[in-house]
């Protein structure tokens, strides 16, 4: 018998509520993974409510574990799961933190800019990073973060040619800055290592690789998220 999981997204302050309903089984789990990633990419931070969902096969909880791992370094961090304490035990191992409506998710830890793939987009992204570093008193991370966000945005302008959402987040890991650029092209960037000195272009991902603490790409049903974690650049 066909099954499906539906979700409702309610914009709330300071985070979005994603309410899941239906039956989750191996057939619907893969579709749910992509849908959840897209929702988290577009509406962060988020809390996922699972009280309206039925799970007949406990192994499909691994779908939530995959989403938790893939979003862990995104600027807002991965979403939280809202579930009554009496039913919380199966959820503790999937990688999400558990939350209720009073969870301390704050928009103050996240800055956002919606940009078009035009000249000047990278400059606006750098301004966002500079504003974040000033607000959160992270001057040592501003330089490398501006380099990374410039390359992320320029890749969208040069290759994806779609609108984009730039997120800058203050992580729980102290003085690190978390960056992401979400676009609506399914073509994934490929890092092939160093390029010949005679080559024109092709150094954007190499620059990110050399500056960022870590970075990666997450494919979405309707695009992708390229994310990066940047550590401070202290002068010795």
Is residue 93 located within the same domain as residue 113? no
Q: What was the pLDDT predicted at 101?
A: 46
Q: At what angle do helices 121-135 and 139-155 cross, to 10 degrees?
A: 160
According to DSSP, the residues that pair with 42 across neighbouring strands are none
Residue among 119, 140, 163, 151 at smallest CA distance from 228: 151
Across the chain, which has 236 residues, the per-10-residue mean pLDDT values are 69 75 87 88 83 87 91 83 85 82 62 95 98 95 96 94 95 86 91 44 75 94 95 70
Q: DSSP string spanning 23-59? A: EE-HHHHHHHHHHHHHHHHHS-SEEEEEEEEEES-GG
Is residue 117 located within the same domain as residue 222? yes
Is residue 120 located within the same domain as residue 164? yes
Is residue 34 located within the same domain as residue 72? yes
Asked whether residue 127 is domain-assigned, the answer is: yes
How far apart (Å, rounded) are the C-alpha atoms in residues 126 and 56?
Answer: 47
Instruction: Judge contact between 189 and 141, C-beta under 8 A.
Output: no
Instruction: Judge contact between 216 and 32, C-beta under 8 A.
Output: no
Q: What was the pLDDT predicted at 11?
A: 66
Q: What secondary structure letter does DSSP report for 123?
A: H
Range of the domain at 216: 109-230
Is residue 95 located within the same domain as residue 123? no
Is residue 134 located within the same domain as residue 84? no
Element (H, E) at 144: helix 139-155
Is residue 160 located within the same domain as residue 124? yes
- Burial label, 130 (beta-carbon count in 10 A; 0-12, 13-18, 19+): middle
Is residue 77 located within the same domain as residue 134? no
- Centre a 10 Å sphere on the Cβ of residue 156 and count the other Cβ atoms it contains: 27
Is residue 52 located within the same domain as residue 156? no
Residue 212 tokens, joined = 């960022």
**Counted domains in the chain:** 2
Asked whether residue 236 is domain-assigned, the answer is: no
Last residue of a domain, one of 75, 99, 123: 99
Is residue 36 located within the same domain as residue 133? no
Is residue 197 located within the same domain as residue 175? yes
Return the CATH number at 199.
3.30.565.10
Last residue of a domain, one of 78, 99, 120: 99
Q: What was the pLDDT predicted at 198?
A: 35
Asked whether residue 104 is domain-assigned, the answer is: no
Asked whether residue 166 is domain-assigned, the answer is: yes
Asked whether residue 214 is domain-assigned, the answer is: yes
Last residue of a domain, one of 99, 118, 153: 99
Tokens 């509406």 label which residue?
43
Is residue 74 located within the same domain as residue 129? no
Q: What is the pTM of this model?
A: 0.86
Q: What was the pLDDT predicted at 163?
A: 98
Return the CATH number at 74.
3.30.750.24
How far apart (Å, rounded) are the C-alpha atoms in residues 226 and 114?
Answer: 15
- Burial label, 199 (beta-carbon count in 10 A; 0-12, 13-18, 19+): exposed
Q: What was the pLDDT predicted at 196?
A: 41
């Amino acid at each position: 018998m066909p099954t499906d999981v539906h979700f409702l997204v309610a914009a709330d302050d300071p985070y979005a509520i994603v309410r899941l309903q239906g039956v989750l089984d191996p057939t619907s789990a893969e579709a749910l993974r992509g849908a959840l990633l897209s929702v988290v990419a577009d509406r962060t931070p988020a809390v996922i409510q699972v009280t309206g969902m039925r799970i007949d096969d406990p192994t499909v909880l691994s779908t939530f574990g995959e989403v938790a791992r893939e979003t862990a370094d995104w600027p807002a961090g991965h979403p939280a799961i809202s579930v009554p304490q009496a039913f919380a035990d199966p959820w503790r191992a999937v990688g999400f933190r558990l939350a209720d409506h009073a969870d301390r998710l704050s928009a103050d830890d996240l800055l956002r800019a919606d940009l078009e793939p035009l000249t000047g987009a990278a400059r606006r992204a750098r301004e966002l990073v500079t504003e974040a570093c000033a607000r959160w008193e992270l001057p040592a991370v501003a330089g490398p973060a501006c380099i990374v966000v410039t390359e992320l945005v320029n890749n969208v302008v040069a290759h994806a040619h779609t609108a984009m959402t730039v997120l800058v987040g203050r992580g729980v890991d102290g003085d690190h800055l978390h960056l992401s650029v979400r676009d609506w092209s399914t073509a994934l960037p490929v890092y092939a290592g160093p390029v010949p000195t005679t080559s024109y272009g092709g150094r954007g991902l190499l620059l990110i690789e050399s500056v960022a603490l870590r970075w990666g790409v997450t494919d979405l049903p309707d695009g992708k998220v390229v994310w990066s974690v940047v550590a401070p650049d202290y002068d010795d």
